[in-house]
Structures are given as C-alpha cells and as structure tokens.
Amino acid sequence: LSALLRNWTGGLGRTTALTGDLLVPSTSEIINVRGRKRALKQTMSRQQKLERRLKREEREAKRKQFTFMERINIKRMRSLLSPSEQFPGRFNRDKEVSLPEQPLTNIFIRSNVKTQFYSVAEALAMHKELQHPSIYNNPKAPLRLRLELNMNTEKQTKPVGSSDEIVPVPHPFSHNEKRTILAFVNDVKLQEAAVEAGAEIAVGADMVKKIIKGQFRVDDYDFCVAHQDIGTSILPLRGILKSRFPTKLNGGLGTDLPQMIEMFKSGVKVNIKADPVYPIWGLCNVVIGKLDMPAEEVEANIATILAAVCAHRNAALGPFVNRALLMTIPGEEHVALNVDAWLPVPSEEEVDKLERRRNKKYKKKEVEAKKKDDDDDDEEGEKKTEKKVEKKEEEDDDDDEEEEKKKAEVVDDDKKKSVASA
C-alpha cells in the first residue's frame, strides 16, 4: 500500500509519508501569486488602441441610428413572416402541380390534395355546421371575406397602393360599428336634413377658417360628406382631412346628402393593404354579411365588393384576385370560394392597348440600345482613324529624318573629299 501511494504521489512532484491513516506531505511548495492579473494583461500598441477605439465608435453610431422602440420593432420584424404568408398562407398553384385533383374520401388532409374551391352556398353550409350549438354556437356570426391580391402593374417599380373606401352593398346588415360623420353644407334646411339622416353635425363655409386655425377639431369624425355647392369652399381642407376629404370618387361629394350619409353609415369598409415584405402581394379583409343571411344575398354582396376591389387595377394585366376565402368572426376556419364568375373579363380593345404600350416600350428600348451601339461604333471608328493618322504622321516624320541624315552624310563626304584634294 505504501509503495502504491508513493507511485501515485510521485506524479504530483511531492514526497509523502504514511503516518497511521493520514497522508501528510513532507515538503510543500510556495507560489508567489502577487501581480498575476497585472502580468497576464498584455500591452497594446498604438495601432491596436486606435482600432479598438474605431470599433467602439462604429458600434455607438449603429446604436444611435435607431431609437429604442425602432430597434425592438426591427428585431420583431426579422422574426415575423409577411402578412400574406401567415395563416392560412398564400395560394400558389405551382406548389400543387404534383398533388391529386380530388380527395378520395369526404374526410381528407388539405395539404395532401389540391385546393378545393366551393360555391357560396356550400361554404355557408360548412360554416353553419361549425356554428352548431354543440360546437361554437354562433349562428349569426359575421362573415369575413379574405382576398389575396396581385399588386403588380405595368410599371414594375410602382405596384397598386394601399387604399380605404366605403362600398354600398345591395343587402346591408348591422355591423355594430359607431361611425361619426361630419357634413359640409351652407343651406340651413339641408343642415337639419343631414343631422336627421345620421350626421353628428352639419357646418357651413364659415367653419373652414376655424378648422384651419385649429379651433374646431375634425379628428373626432370618421367620415366627411359635402354638398356640391360648397365643394370649392372646402378645398383648403384637403391637407387636413387627407383621405377623408369628400370627393366624387369616394362618394362623399354630391347633392343628395341623406343618401350619402346612409351609404357611409351602412356601407362596407374595404381596405386594401400592400404587403410590407413582398410589395407585389396584397390583402383585403371585408365583412360581407351575417351567417344567417340567404346565400343569394351573400353572393350579391360579394359580387359588389369584388367589382369595387378590381376597379383599382387594369383587368388586362391578369386576375387581380389570387384567391378568395370565406371565414367567420371569430374563427380560423376558411373555405376557398370559386369567384371566377364575378371577376372582370378584359375586352379585346383593352388587351390590344396594353400590348401596344408594351411594344412601344420595347421598341423604345431597342432604339435606345441600337443608338447606343451606333455611338459606340462611331467612337471606336473615330479612335481607329485617329490612330491611323497618328501612325502615318509618325512614319512621315521618320522618313523626313532619314532624308535629312542622308543629305548631311553627303555634305560631310563632299567636305572630306575637298579637304583631301587640297
């Protein structure tokens, strides 16, 4: 045992002695640890200190480039997908080429077959089954139409922009939204009629200056309507009202104030939003009715909304709607709708105009490219001719020098002969 202990302790560089049951070292080593950290710290040259200072300043500049909340939002955006790719995702036909057309049974996994498109009546029947009292128990659930849009236009750098508008539907429904409306009209009787129709307040042209000075707040109102007689007087408010400024395009300018107010009260909000990650994609979420409405009324509302949405883009460019999904609020269950019958079909004249414009652009580009090539060829030809002229001039100079040398040699020979004869 003592021999084994000696061998074991020999690796430690120490001699030991066995006294009873205790192992006591007979020698000890003293190590001076004073100034160890100072010794480990390496000295830095001026160049290394300069590099470290530049790196620190660069990090500080990056940190001050954005505010604290902006940095947090950037980190969040990096981890998030685009709104179009979030549930239920964006429809892509190319990814479903290898999948079967129809499922073999009435119960199937959606990802294993191609996207199945249903009529409005079939989609409503599916949602009504889910809203059975034993499941979700909401037979009057609001219906939401989710439209996936193609935002590309003739100009690749200018897609369809985001927009908000109110669209009157043929079969209105209660949307349970409080919408405040401000009416602009000079006639006192029309002001009273506008308030009776549902406007919060009706004002005349004398309030325009107060609004500009900030004495009357217009931020408390969701929409604005105006009579046609006061249209020129409210032009200074265009920069203040912005998208709420009443025009004929958004239906806020006209002569029948009660009808316009009713449209803004019972109409449907249609908001088209461009994808921040992929600008050529877009989304549009619209509430189109209630689940207890007849299928014919829901179809009429969908047709009206699709016509208003598709008016934002030329039909000759192709289908504006990539896919339409019918959903309920609340809920994530979605059914793809077959809306081809309600999409606008471009006429032959529109297609011909688009092709002519494209051909003009291509011809213009070809002419510019050809002109550029001709200019390059002319420049190269001029350079070649200049080089030839310079080379010829150099050759002529060399010939002149040789002739002068020969003449000088002949003169020298004559002088030598005359000296020799003398």
Give the pLDDT confidence of 1-11 residue by residue, as tens digits: 555 445 544 44
Comparing CA positions, the residue from 125, 149, 126, 128 lying closest to residue 137 is: 128
Instruction: Give Cβ neighbours of residue 218 (< 8 Å, ≥ 6 apart).
Output: 182, 211, 224, 237, 240, 241, 244
Residues near 396 by beta carbon (within 8 Å), at least 6 away in sequence = none
8 A C-beta contact, residue 265 and residue 198: yes
- The 10s digit of each residue's pLDDT in 63-89 is 777 777 777 776 666 556 778 888 888
> What is the torsion angle, in degrees rounded to the nearest 10, for the CA atoms of residue 204, residue 208, residue 209 and residue 210?
80
Closest by CA to 273, choosing from 148, 144, 154, 169, is 148
- The token duo for 42 is 């390496």
Taking the CA atoms of residue 226, residue 228, residue 229 and residue 234 in that order, the dihedral angle to the nearest 10 degrees is: 50
Task: Give the tokens for residue 289.
Answer: 């009715």
Identify the H or E element spanning 420: helix 348-421
Tens-digit pLDDT string for the chain (422 aa) = 555 445 544 444 444 444 444 455 555 555 555 555 555 556 788 888 888 888 888 888 777 777 777 777 766 665 567 788 888 888 888 888 888 888 888 888 888 888 888 999 999 998 888 888 888 888 888 999 999 998 888 887 788 888 888 888 888 888 878 888 888 888 888 888 888 888 888 888 888 888 888 888 888 888 888 888 888 888 888 888 887 888 888 788 888 888 888 888 888 888 888 888 788 888 999 998 888 888 899 999 999 999 888 888 888 888 888 899 999 888 888 899 988 888 888 888 878 887 888 777 666 666 666 666 666 666 666 666 667 667 766 676 666 667 767 666 665 666 666 656 65
Nearest of 353, 172, 390 to residue 269 by alpha carbon: 172
Position 236, amino acid? P
pTM above 0.75, yes or no: no
Task: Confirm if 146 and 324 have CB atoms less than 8 A apart.
Answer: yes
DSSP character string of 214-269 = TSS--TT-SEEEEEGGGTTTTGGGHHHHGGGS--TTTT-EES-HHHHHHHHHHSEE
- Cβ contact 282:290 at 8 Å: no
Tokens representing residue 85 in the block:
């790719």
φ and ψ of 128, to 5 deg: -65, -35
**C-beta of residue 328 within 8 angstroms of C-beta of residue 142:** yes
What token pair was written down for 208?
């325009």
Neighbours of 204 (CB within 10 A): 17
